């Protein structure tokens, strides 16, 4: 019996050993299969990476080749000689000067049978010629309906040639300099949406966002149909940072303009971002409905809303403000002008959709007004009808009709501050 017990124990031990061996064999097989799979996966990843690197290398070579051809043939922008510019501006005659911006004077003239505005950068704002030419090539590729078009340049002398905007700056039109007509609230709502659209285009520029840095009514220009376009885009990239910061942050205009549009966090930290432009946009929007200087404007509007006197803040030159929509407009502007960046709304997701809804409302009002005005066709010239006539002129201009033969030319310049 003892012998049988020993044999049984030995048999059980042998079976256990065999089971353990089978388990170890299965584990070893699974490990080998996993290692083989990992090896194949690694080979596949290496092959993919090699294909991506080859593709990137080919694209880089093509880009360099294309860039070299474009640089050699000057296809990106029209290059003008200093002799051509001197002839067009009559040797930079004061009679041709239409503005004096922070970066230099602006002249109105004709080049290639086209009305243009020439901005001449100050000598201390001149970059190296190669860097200036590189930046101009980038800026000349920016095409958007709400961006002032850069037509050409003279890199050797730091001259930029832009399309000329017949109705000057938004600042001049808001403050009615030169006795120009009042901008109707419908036009102001449309212009605000156009500015937001152009600004979002800048912020979505690849490979990195393009921050304007100096957004204000003086840098919003209006063409002959009162379509708004953002000017001085990327100008801070053409000059040394020290000059750009001085011009943007500390240049004071007659209404203390530029200083009041700067992002407070940018002033404190020196960190620039797209939300810096959103702050400037907020101040600009408040000016569009109040036609008041920017100094302390956010505080005054907030106080008026709290006291229930917001309607008194609206531009009195416009007789038919839709107060509820204007209040919505003002609250959005105040959100944009929050002190902290994280409290400001997203331009593409929040700001622009609301501005577009207000623009749609304004366009509906324009259509109804035009139809009613055509049906009435009354010859009376009372004060109220005269104001409506001014609004109607602006609306017809928006539709593409040049209703007025005389345009204010003294303030029709680009980027003048």
Q: pLDDT tens for residues 273-311?
A: 899 999 999 999 999 999 999 999 999 999 999 999 999
Last residue of a domain, one of 137, 163, 189: 163
Indicate if 214 belongs to the active site: yes
User: Is residue 121 in some structural domain?
Assistant: yes
Query: How many domains does the structure of the chain reveal?
Result: 2
Calculate what percentage of the chain has a pLDDT beyond 70. Answer: 76
CA distance 326 to 316: 13
Identify the weakest region by mean pLDDT among 41-50, 136-145, 239-248, 363-372.
239-248
pTM, 2 dp: 0.68
Strands of the sheet containing 159-163, edge to edge, are 78-79, 150-154, 159-163, 114-120, 105-111, 97-100
Q: What is the mean pLDDT of residues 62-87?
A: 73
| DSSP string for 292-330 | --STTHHHHHHHHHHHT-GGGGS-TT-TT--HHHHHHHH
Among residues 60, 172, 214, 277, the one annotated as catalytic is 214
Residue pair 155/249 in contact by the 8 Å Cβ criterion = no
User: Is residue 19 in some structural domain?
Assistant: no
Domain span holding position 342: 170-398
| pLDDT score of 382 | 38
| pLDDT score of 410 | 32
CA distance 303 to 290: 14
Domain with residue 107: its CATH number is 3.30.200.20
Band (pLDDT 50/70/90 cuts) for residue 350 is very high
Last residue of a domain, one of 106, 136, 163: 163
**Same domain, yes or no, for 191 and 159?**
no
User: Is residue 376 in some structural domain?
Assistant: yes
**Same domain, yes or no, for 278 and 301?**
yes
The token duo for 11 is 């048999």
**Same domain, yes or no, for 138 and 103?**
yes
Band (pLDDT 50/70/90 cuts) for residue 379 is very low
Domain with residue 302: its CATH number is 1.10.510.10
User: Is residue 30 in some structural domain?
Assistant: no
Burial class, 383, CB count within 10 angstroms (exposed 0-12 / middle 13-18 / buried 19+):
exposed
**Same domain, yes or no, for 234 and 351?**
yes
Q: What is the mean pLDDT of residues 145-149?
A: 91
**Same domain, yes or no, for 148 and 179?**
no
User: Is residue 154 in some structural domain?
Assistant: yes
User: Is residue 69 in some structural domain?
Assistant: no
Band (pLDDT 50/70/90 cuts) for residue 406 is very low
**Same domain, yes or no, for 108 and 86?**
yes
**Same domain, yes or no, for 124 and 233?**
no
| pLDDT score of 307 | 95
**Same domain, yes or no, for 155 and 247?**
no
Interval 190-232: pLDDT, tens? 999 999 999 999 999 877 888 888 899 988 999 999 999 998 8
Q: What is the mean pLDDT of residues 179-186?
A: 92
**Same domain, yes or no, for 187 and 330?**
yes
User: Is residue 95 in some structural domain?
Assistant: yes
The token duo for 225 is 């149909």
**Same domain, yes or no, for 266 and 145?**
no
**Same domain, yes or no, for 117 and 208?**
no
| pLDDT score of 331 | 97
**Same domain, yes or no, for 243 and 366?**
yes
| pLDDT score of 248 | 54
Last residue of a domain, one of 143, 163, 183: 163
400: left (phi over 0), alpha (psi -120 to 50) or beta: left
More confident residue, 147 or 121: 147
User: Is residue 339 in some structural domain?
Assistant: yes
């Amino acid at each position: 019996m003892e012998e049988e017990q020993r044999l049984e124990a030995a048999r059980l031990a042998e079976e256990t050993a065999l089971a353990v061996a089978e388990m170890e064999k299965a584990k070893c097989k699974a490990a080998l299969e996993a290692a083989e799979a990992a090896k194949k996966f690694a080979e596949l990843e290496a092959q993919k990476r090699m294909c991506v690197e080859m593709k990137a290398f080919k694209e880089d070579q093509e880009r360099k080749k294309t860039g070299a051809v474009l640089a050699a043939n000057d296809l990106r922008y029209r290059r003008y000689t200093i002799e051509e510019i001197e002839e067009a501006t009559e040797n930079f005659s004061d009679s041709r000067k239409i503005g004096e911006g922070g970066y230099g004077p602006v002249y109105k003239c004709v080049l290639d049978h086209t009305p243009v505005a020439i901005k001449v950068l100050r000598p201390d704002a001149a970059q190296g010629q190669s860097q200036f030419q590189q930046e101009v090539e980038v800026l000349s590729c920016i095409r958007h309906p709400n961006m002032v078009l850069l037509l050409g340049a003279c890199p050797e002398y730091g001259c930029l040639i832009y399309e000329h905007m017949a109705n000057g700056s938004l600042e001049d039109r808001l403050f009615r300099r030169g006795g120009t007509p009042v901008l109707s609230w419908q036009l102001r709502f449309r212009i605000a949406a156009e500015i937001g659209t152009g600004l979002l285009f800048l912020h979505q520029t690849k490979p990195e966002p393009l921050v304007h840095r100096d957004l204000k009514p003086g840098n919003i220009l209006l063409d002959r149909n009162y379509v708004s376009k953002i000017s001085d885009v990327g100008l801070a990239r053409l000059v040394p940072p020290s000059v750009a910061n001085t011009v943007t942050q500390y240049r004071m205009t007659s209404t203390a303009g530029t200083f009041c549009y700067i992002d407070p966090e940018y002033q404190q930290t020196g960190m620039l971002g797209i939300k810096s432009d959103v702050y400037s946009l907020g101040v600009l929007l408040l000016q569009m409905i109040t036609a008041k200087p920017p100094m302390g404007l956010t505080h005054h509007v907030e106080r008026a809303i709290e006291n229930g006197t917001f309607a008194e803040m609206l531009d009195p030159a416009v007789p038919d403000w839709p107060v509820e929509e204007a209040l919505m407009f003002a609250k959005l502007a105040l959100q944009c002008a929050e002190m902290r960046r994280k409290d400001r709304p997203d331009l593409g997701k929040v700001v622009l959709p609301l501005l577009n809804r207000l623009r749609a409302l304004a366009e509906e009002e324009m259509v109804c007004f035009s139809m009613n005005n055509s049906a009435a066709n009354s010859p009376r010239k009372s004060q109220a009808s005269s104001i409506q006539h001014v609004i109607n002129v602006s609306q017809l201009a928006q539709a593409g009709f040049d209703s007025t033969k005389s345009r204010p030319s003294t303030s029709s310049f680009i980027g003048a501050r």
